[in-house]
């Protein structure tokens, strides 16, 4: 992690990152307790860590990254995302949207508001995503084309 990413992540934690990471963690624990929700819990735990330290990392589609679909990026992934949306996705997205609106009021908070908006999108449709270092995602995308 670069020094800039480290500084941005520290500021991020103060600007709603810690609160939303805890919300993702709560969603993951609730899903894990149900046993049936373990696939959603795994995704939520990964995104909870990403929500805590988003700078220097990137969420990418596993299908795009690996060049082939898997169980989470195909039809079952779509069904899983719809179930997630109903159970937990909408309130996590709402939390990110509220924090983004509060941060967007200030000039300094605009980059953090933008990051919360990206996380709101992930909150709605997390299955089939993976978190990779940002430089690795860029290198992988460049090799693909």
Domain ranges, ordered by start, for the chain: 3-144
- Report the C-alpha gap between 18 and 25 in whole angstroms: 10
- State how far the Cα of 26 lies from the Cα of 8, in Å rounded to an integer: 24
pLDDT of the residue at 62: 86
Write out the E strands in 9-123.
57-61
- 12-40 tens-digit pLDDT: 999 899 999 999 999 999 999 998 888 88
pLDDT tens-digit readout, 30-71:
999 998 888 889 889 999 999 999 999 999 888 888 888 887
Tell the residue number behind the tokens 């909870």, with chain if given: 48
pTM of the predicted model as reported, rounded to 2 decimal places: 0.86
């Amino acid at each position: 992690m670069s020094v800039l990413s480290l500084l941005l992540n520290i500021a991020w934690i103060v600007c709603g990152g810690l609160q939303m990471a805890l919300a993702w963690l709560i969603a993951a624990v609730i899903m894990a307790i149900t046993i049936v929700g373990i696939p959603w819990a795994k995704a939520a735990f990964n995104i909870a860590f990403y929500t805590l330290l988003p700078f220097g990392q990137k969420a990418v589609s596993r299908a795009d990254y690996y060049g082939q679909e898997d169980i989470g990026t195909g039809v079952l992934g779509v069904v899983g995302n719809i179930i997630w949306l109903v159970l937990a996705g909408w309130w996590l997205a709402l939390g990110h949207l509220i924090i983004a609106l509060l941060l967007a009021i200030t000039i300094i908070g605009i980059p953090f508001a933008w990051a919360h908006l990206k996380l709101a999108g992930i909150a709605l449709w997390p299955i089939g995503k993976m978190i990779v270092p940002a430089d690795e995602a860029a290198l992988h995308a460049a090799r693909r084309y």
